Structure 1
Amino acid sequence: MRLFDPHAPTLRALSGTNIRLMMGVSHSDLCDLSNCPQAATSWVRQNILRFPNVTFRYIIAGNEIDPNSELGSFVFPAMQNMYRVTRAAGQGGRVQVSTSIHISLLRRCSPPQAAAFKCSVNWFIRPILEFLRETRAPMHINIFPFNAYINDRRNINLSFALLQPNSGVVLGGVYYDNLFYVIHDAFIAAMTKILAAASPLSLQQTHEMQSGMQVN
């Protein structure tokens, strides 16, 4: 289950249910969490530690933040502070810290093997990906196949975008059943390229990043 920001009545209702929860951070909190470790400590105490019987799995610091917006520079420092606080609170093995990104960060996504992030967002995405690799946390992706169809009706078939049977296509020599898989593989290719300069992703690390993809 995913909450885009903390909601105490919902958290109380989830207590003891064993439902794994993705806890979002309100965009209005990102500045403080980025600039003030004490704010991160207070946030974790108020929204995580206060509910010991809730199965928190992820803290998502920002949802689809535009790197070029006023919030863009806050995402990565907020993730770092939240990670340090959760570890200090003994939650490091239980709760992972990540963020959620949008398809618009990609320069292209078809064929997936040729996908890459826009050069203008490399400053934003690279440290986040390196951090996630180091902490063994997945990147979270919102994939909206129908929105991609709306933005490119000339080249995308509606049935392909709606995951209908018998509407697959071959892209870059690979058969894809639907547009969801195309976007999924495009992100994996783009992330791998960003990290290749440091060291190649292992199969396990690639799988861990794939496992965090969030579909809405």
Structure 2
Amino acid sequence: MLKKTPLKKKTAGRRPASKQAACCTRSSIIAAARTLFAERGLEGTSVREVAEAANVNNAMIYYHFTDKVEMYRAVLADSFAEFDHIWEHAIFKSQASAREKIQQYVEELIGFQHNNEEIRRILSMEFACCGKNLKWLADNFFHRSHERLAAIIKEGIKKGELKKVDPSVAISALVGMVIHSFITRPIAEHVIGKKLDLSPAHFGAFVTGVFFDGLGQNKK
């Protein structure tokens, strides 16, 4: 009679490796989804296409996400959660001037734009339709930054660094200067025939200067 080969027991030591593998797989899926969503949008991208781009099967997608919308929001959350870390910078907890705090924020926002072209393209599509996902993003991420920026602007008004303005309008103008400059950069560079210097230091100082001082010459 043939002897039965005893089954090998799984050791508990393999679990951390599985968690690490699962984490890597999720990251791969998010990276692939981000690229496809930037090219085709949410509606134009299928779960199957994401699975193929991430080199996984559909079942693995649904292991990590309940549906395509959850995966889409994970792509957005993954990037904006990282951006939210800028508020941990020591300057925002210090007695620094509103101008210094605003410039730090602007430079971080510019750096984010340089490193997240795909997210900017996704947001451009979201801004065009202003759907549920944009409102979800506003509730979960934009709202916190808006409140913090508004507090800095109010502080600047109180200390005489800024004129009395509506903080919400001021924030839209400030953020718009940065984001719109990146959106229109390809056209602007084609028209002028050279690269624009949108580096955090150079462009950040420009945006902060326009925000606080304007472009007009002060004639005394």
TM-score normalised over the length of structure 2? 0.34
Task: Point out the structure with the larger helix share.
Answer: 2
TM-score normalised over the length of structure 1? 0.34
Task: Point out the structure with the larger strand share.
Answer: 1
Q: Which has the higher contact order (CA 8 A, sep 6+)?
A: 2
Who wins on radius of gyration, i.e. which is larger?
2
